Chains A and B, each alone.
Chain A
Amino acid sequence: MNKKIYEFEVIKGFILSNIFAFIVIAVSRFLKPDPGIFVYAEFVIVPLLMGIISAWCWKNMEIKGKRLTGFSCLNGALAILLSAIFLGEGVICLVIVSPLIFAFIITGVFIGRAMFRKDNTNLNISIFSFLFMLFIVDSVSKHHYENLVSDVIVINAPAKEVWKHVVAFKQIEKKNEFWLFRIGMPSPVAATVDGYYEGAGRKCIFSNGYIFDEKIVVYRPGQDLTFDIVNQPKDPEIMGHIDILRGQFLLKDNGNGTTTLTGNSWYRLYVFPLWYYDVWAESITRNVHLRVMEHIKELSESR
């Protein structure tokens, strides 16, 4: 095949699949009951169809598997770049989403290659239509998911001492260990309060200066501090994807000079599939908990 034609066909595969993806995602914004939610179909069916479309563009080129993999990676990178530009996604979001995009585009390309080798038009149209139908059904379905993450540590100090550092705590100086915090995801650094009573305002300050405004809803010294998040920061990494709804610290005096501290967070996810994103959400929430709770432990034990 002539080099120019070859290059044109390769680029056609990139362009057509990305145009298709953006049209479909734009249409789904109108179909979805809640346009702010990113559904399973957008992260699974769309990349899969992108791969199949690319394979269709490349079907007569006899591209070998290694090169197809490389082209799929380029196509995925292009889709991710366009998402960053047009959907305003942050770097961490793109890091999180990229394994899904790459894996499903590659899968789509190789399924597509097998489909177009067989050249059974009826079968190909059936597969494409089935996937497109799945996309529509998923887009118009209602999605709502809330979860609780709970972590427990034992602190070698009485509950009265621990409580002093639970309501508000000074700056966390310790270096981040969690890899997402290391590459730029904001991590908690301090908490302040307006007062020590139910209804008081509390602020949880993150490393990039973002602040979660909270309101204390349960204030039982030495036992229970529960707060609702009343204002989320407008961070591109979390905006519209996850809402932290409520946080809680429960203290249990173990009667031997130690205290069991339980940290709970309730959140709502706006990105699906859950089998993928909830793993990330749980992991991030758990690492936020542990960073704060280990800081509280350190402050309490160094009394």
Chain B
Amino acid sequence: MFAFVVKNLAFLKAVPLLPLVFDSLLRLRVFFIKPEILDWLDELEAEASTWPGMSMAVHKYGGLQFNYRGKEIAHLHSNGLLDSRKTKTKLILEGRIQEHHVFAKSGWISFYLRSKDGLDYAKKLLLAAYLKKHQGNLKAEF
């Protein structure tokens, strides 16, 4: 259903609030059908919030946005889809992530968080996106 909406009704994302409401419906569905996904999302959020310079916000198309020093590095839809800035080609070669589910070859990648094992991988992806920005930032400072 998510893929259908994103593919066919993407033009509706311009309607104020609508993507957020859609994400809430995804969250509601996950809450009743596979609530453990929401635990994993919480765990990912809790971990990322301990990294220096990170903050969270509501993503403009729904879900949780991870910002490093106010700039977005990833976002997490409530169905467990993590969209992150591309970090290493090696990660794509591992075959677990795919090009961004809407914007292919945009420098963004997507990963579906569907299992506890996937949570560790999602953390790894998020950390890689974070470190890329963080280290770039450190180099610029020194």
Contact = CB atoms under 8 A, between A and B. Distances in A.
A66 B38 contact: yes
A104 B20 CA distance: 9
Contacts of B28: 69, 73, 102-103, 106
A33 interface: no
Contact of A114 (B21, B23, B42, B57): B57
A35 interface: no
Contacts of B45: 65
A107 B42 CA distance: 17
B20 A65 contact: no
A70 B39 CA distance: 12
Contacts of B46: 64
Interface string A109-122: 01100100100000
B81 interface: no
B25 A103 contact: yes
A99 interface: yes
Given A103-B24, A114-B58, A65 B41 contact: yes
Contacts of A111: 20, 58
A180 to B, nearest CB: 20
Contact of A110 (B24, B25, B31): B24
B5 to A, nearest CB: 14
A73 B25 contact: no
A131 to B, nearest CB: 10
A289 to B, nearest CB: 27
Contact of A69 (B38, B56, B57, B64): B38
B74 to A, nearest CB: 16
A114 B65 CA distance: 10
A66 B20 CA distance: 16
Contact of B25 (A48, A99, A117): A99
B58 A66 contact: no
Contacts of A117: 56
B27 interface: yes
Nearest to A44: B17
B17 A70 contact: no
A103 B58 contact: no
Contacts of B25: 99, 103
Contacts of A110: 20, 24, 58
A66 B21 contact: no
B53 interface: no
Interface string B112-135: 000000000000000000000000
**Nearest 10 pairs of A and B residues by beta carbon:** A66-B38, A106-B24, A64-B42, A107-B24, A114-B58, A103-B24, A69-B31, A103-B21, A65-B42, A107-B20
28 contacts: A65-B27, A65-B38, A65-B41, A65-B64, A66-B31, A66-B38, A66-B42, A69-B27, A69-B28, A69-B31, A69-B38, A73-B31, A103-B21, A103-B24, A103-B28, A104-B21, A104-B24, A106-B24, A106-B27, A106-B28, A107-B20, A107-B24, A110-B24, A110-B58, A114-B56, A114-B57, A114-B58, A117-B56
